[in-house]
Every structure is written in structure tokens, then in C-alpha cells.
Amino acid sequence: MTKAAIITGAGSGLGQAAATRLAEDGVNISVVDINEQGGKETVEMVKKLGADAIFIKADVSKQEDVKNYVDKTVEHFGSIDYFFNNAGISGSGKYYLETEINEIEKIVGINLLGALYGVRYVAEQMMKNGGGSIVNTASSAGVIGQDSVVTYSATKHGIIGLTKSMVAEYAKDGLRVNAIAPGPTETPMVKEFYEENPKMKENATSGIPQKRLGTPEEVAELVAFLLTSKAEYINGEVIRIDGGFTNTK
């Protein structure tokens, strides 16, 4: 039976790479993003690989948008087997006491509330069919403390708490929830952040034992593995994919 996945933030970066990787295995994709152009581009990429895909525009910080993308996925594909809970933003890179309150609220709304809403509505549907698999996007900044990203780091630590606690409550009912913790990765979001904060890129690269940034395709391989039946006994884990970056901290 053909599987169906929801991927948030699927219009670019990790989400787009995961969508195409899963499509190679015949998984149908609900492409969720606030960026309509990027989302529709991902849909075309998925269809070229032979899987079905739909685009659903959503602001994940709004619970009604989240419920809508879940409802539309079930309506179109019949069920939700996999969920890559990935949408997020990094922020301006300012030190915390210089950060505007509206920026703090925006990051928390998208990164943490968006993830909480996603798990809330997706897991509800998954449980109707005996369970499913969720991968949440945390970050190296969710594993260690990092300067210039205090609010972002707080939300990513929250993602890890969400991951572990959902397993404590629902693993017995067939739900698997894991998290990935990517280090600096060559996504549009990270490139934009480093363009505005060039010193941060230099510091990050020099601090990675492998001396390079990761790629979206490398992260997508891990996501595909964790979501599927190949990883059925992995649950509640936070898997770092950072070239050794957090290992040296």
C-alpha cells in the first residue's frame, strides 16, 4: 500500500530534499509551506519522480492552518503515515538583549508552536490507523547552547522535549517520534543567516571537525531512514548530523 507523508517547510532546504528522497521510494507527499512558489516547485519535483504530491499553503504558527493541512492530506491521500515536522526560521542573529520582542514571538510561533500544533493534529490522525512515524527537526542549537540564536535555541530544546515526551505517552499505541539535530547545513535559510552574519559562518566551519557544512541531501537520507520501517525500533531519539560539531563542545 502506498504511503503518504506530510512535510512542512517543504518549499526549500531540508524539507524539499526530504520530499524528493521519499518520492524516490514511492511515498506520496503533502508539500506544506508558506512559500507558494517553492512549494509548487517541490510538487513538480516529486511528480517527476513518479509519486503523487499536493501543495498546501500554511502559516504553521496558526493552528487553523495546521489543522487544514492535516485535513486536506487525509482527504487527498486517505491517511498520514509519515510526518517530517520541519518548518522553522532562525532569526536575525542579534544577541538576545538586542532582539525585538516581535522577533522572539515570531520564532516561537513558527518553530515551537508550529511543531506542537503539527504533532497534535497529525498524531491524532495517525492513531486512528494504528500509529505512524514522526521526525521533528531540532538543531545542534537544541543540544548545546549557542550565542546569537537564544530564542531559536530555546525552541529547538523544546522540540527535543516534545519528541521524548510524546514517546513516553504514545509509543505503546504504535507512534514513533524521533528528532534530528542538524549542525550548520547548506540550506537557503542558513545561507541567508550567514550572509547577514559572516563571522558566524567562519566560526561554525572552523568548529566542525569535518571542516565543511552538511548538505540537505545528507540530512534527507537520515530523515527517510527514521521515518520508514527500516527504523522501527528507534524511538524517542535525537540524532545529531553535524560533522562532529557538538561532539567537541
pLDDT tens for 48-80 read 999 999 999 999 999 999 999 999 999 999 999
| Whole-angstrom distance, CA of residue 205 vs CA of residue 211 | 6
pTM to 2 decimal places: 0.95
| Whole-angstrom distance, CA of residue 186 vs CA of residue 72 | 31
Query: What's residue 76's pLDDT?
Result: 98
The DSSP symbol for 228 reads S
pLDDT category at 212 given cuts 50, 70, 90 is: confident
**DSSP 3-state of 60:** coil
Q: Which domain holds residue 221?
A: 4-185+217-240
Cβ–Cβ contacts within 10 Å for residue 209, how many?
Answer: 11
Of 219, 232, 230, which is closest to residue 177 (Cα–Cα)?
A: 232
Q: What is the mean pLDDT of residues 91-96?
A: 94
Q: What is the CATH number of the domain that holds 144?
A: 3.40.50.720
Query: What's residue 247's pLDDT?
Result: 87
**DSSP 3-state of 214:** strand
Q: What is the mean pLDDT of residues 141-153?
A: 95
pLDDT tens digits, 5-38: 999 999 999 999 999 999 999 999 999 999 999 9
More confident residue, 188 or 51: 51
Question: Residue 134 in contact with residue 122, Cβ under 8 Å?
Answer: yes
Q: What is the mean pLDDT of residues 200-206?
A: 71
Cβ–Cβ contacts within 10 Å for residue 219, how many?
Answer: 25
Please report whether residue 71 resides in a domain: yes
Whether 195 shows a pLDDT value over 90: the answer reads no
Whether 150 shows a pLDDT value over 80: the answer reads yes
Cβ–Cβ contacts within 10 Å for residue 169, how many?
Answer: 11
Query: What's residue 130's pLDDT?
Result: 96
Query: What's residue 187's pLDDT?
Result: 83
Query: What's residue 244's pLDDT?
Result: 94
Cβ–Cβ contacts within 10 Å for residue 159, how many?
Answer: 25
Please report whether residue 99 resides in a domain: yes
Whether 249 shows a pLDDT value over 80: the answer reads no
Please report whether residue 59 resides in a domain: yes
Cβ–Cβ contacts within 10 Å for residue 77, how many?
Answer: 20
* Residues 114-140: b if buried by 16+ CB within 10 A, e if exposed: bbbbbbebbbebbeeeebbbbbbbbbb
List the catalytic residues.
Answer: 152
pLDDT category at 1 given cuts 50, 70, 90 is: confident
Across the chain, what does the average pLDDT equal? 95
pLDDT tens digits, 111-146: 999 999 999 999 999 999 999 999 999 999 999 999
Q: Which residues contact 61 (CB under 8 A, 6 or more apart)?
A: 106, 109, 110, 113, 114
| Whole-angstrom distance, CA of residue 112 vs CA of residue 81 | 22
| Whole-angstrom distance, CA of residue 245 vs CA of residue 14 | 18
Please report whether residue 51 resides in a domain: yes
Whether 196 shows a pLDDT value over 80: the answer reads no
Please report whether residue 70 resides in a domain: yes
Q: How many domains does the chain have?
A: 1
| Rg (alpha carbons) of the chain, rounded to whole number | 17
More confident residue, 197 or 72: 72
Please report whether residue 79 resides in a domain: yes
- Helix, strand, coil percent values for the chain (each to nearest 5): 55, 15, 30
Please report whether residue 110 resides in a domain: yes
Among 94-98, 114-118, 243-247, the least confident range: 243-247
Query: What's residue 8's pLDDT?
Result: 98
Please report whether residue 210 resides in a domain: no
DSSP assignment string, 67-79: HHHHHHHHHHHS-
Q: What is the mean pLDDT of residues 152-165?
A: 98
| Whole-angstrom distance, CA of residue 195 vs CA of residue 191 | 6
Q: What is the mean pLDDT of residues 145-156?
A: 95
